[in-house]
Amino acid sequence: MRYFPGMNLGRVLIIAGSDSGGGAGIQADIKTVTALGGYAATAITAVTVQNTLGVTGVHAVPPAVVEAQARAVLDDIGADAVKTGMLGDTEMVERVAAILDTVRVPVVVDPVMVAKGGASLLSPGAVDAVRTLMIPHAAVLTPNAPEAEALSGLPVHTTDDLRRAGERLLALGAKAVLMKGGHVEGDTVVDVLMTPDGETSFEGERLDTRHTHGTGCTLASAVAAGLAQGLSLTEAVARAWAYVHEAMRQAPGFGAGHGPLDHGWPLRGKA
């Protein structure tokens, strides 16, 4: 994995929910940005009660408090990129979209809808708000196949389906979409980065592992870190892709369910 020596310490404001198990959400986001040499600040949207076996509670933070967190960061520390994750409901989507109206840095929108264990993290009524309010803010949108289906209204079962859904999401206003193929069956995982100027595919072997908790959060935050540090979108995605693949391969084996990744592997020089 390339580290681009001399890279700036990019500041990433992360607006997302907390994962008590540390594998996804804000915890995964902070670990990822730090491991890739960036600086992470946060506005927490919800506190979840979860571990590798699933989510047993979700406690939303009032939208006004989320905005206050974000404003405090932006007014003092600043941000070179913003990454959004779990938003929960329409009111939160509207509040976060209003915050994004005031920033002039790349925004990575991870349209989190369902936890790895199956718990809903976005109310059904909020999907349209994500479609109309968040997608137009996205320098890059990072949906998995089920999220792409919900947002585009198209079935997504193959890589070609990913591309068709991606075209529709670009038409909704995203400047780029990283269509994640982890839910598409096959021995090879194919993610497709699509922009109005063309596409780039990222392919790798599908690892036979149960340690996949937080892969989406981790990938999106890794992309945000790269953009904050001045990488091109393609460079940021390529580095993020390599980082997540190795974090899965070196997973520590914790928990009895969908286990967490090894976010800190670059800091220990284990590659």
Select which of 214, 218, 226, 259 is catalytic: 214
216 is catalytic: yes
Token code pair at residue 92: 């939160």
CA dihedral over 151, 214, 114, 130, signed as positive or negative: negative
Residue of 31, 83, 116, 180 marked catalytic: 180
Q: For residue 41, what are the β-bridge partners?
A: 13
**What backbone torsions phi and psi does residue 154 show, to the nearest 5 degrees?**
-110, 145
Q: Among this protein's residues, is 217 annotated catalytic?
A: yes
Of 181, 217, 218, 259, the catalytic one is: 217
Query: Is 214 annotated as catalytic?
Result: yes
**Locate tokens 């580095």: which residue?**
239
Q: Exactly one of 45, 212, 218, 226 is catalytic; name it.
A: 212
The dihedral sign for the CA sequence 74, 79, 82, 88: negative
Distance CA 77, CA 165 (A): 37
Is 21 one of the catalytic residues?
A: no
The count of other CB atoms within 10 Å of the CB of residue 21 is 25
Pairing between β-strand 107-109 and β-strand 140-141 as defined by DSSP bridges:
parallel
Q: What is the side-by-side order of every strand in the sheet holding 107-109?
A: 54-60, 39-51, 11-19, 81-84, 107-109, 140-141, 177-179, 188-195, 198-205
Q: Please give the helix or strand (H or E) that residue 60 lies within, else none.
A: strand 54-60
Catalytic residue status for 218: no
Residue type, 131: R
Is 6 catalytic? The answer is no
Catalytic residue among 34, 159, 215, 218: 215
Q: Considering 181, 216, 226, 259, which one is annotated as catalytic?
A: 216
d(CA 256, CA 36) in angstroms, rounded, equals: 28
Write out the catalytic residue numbers: 180, 212, 214-217
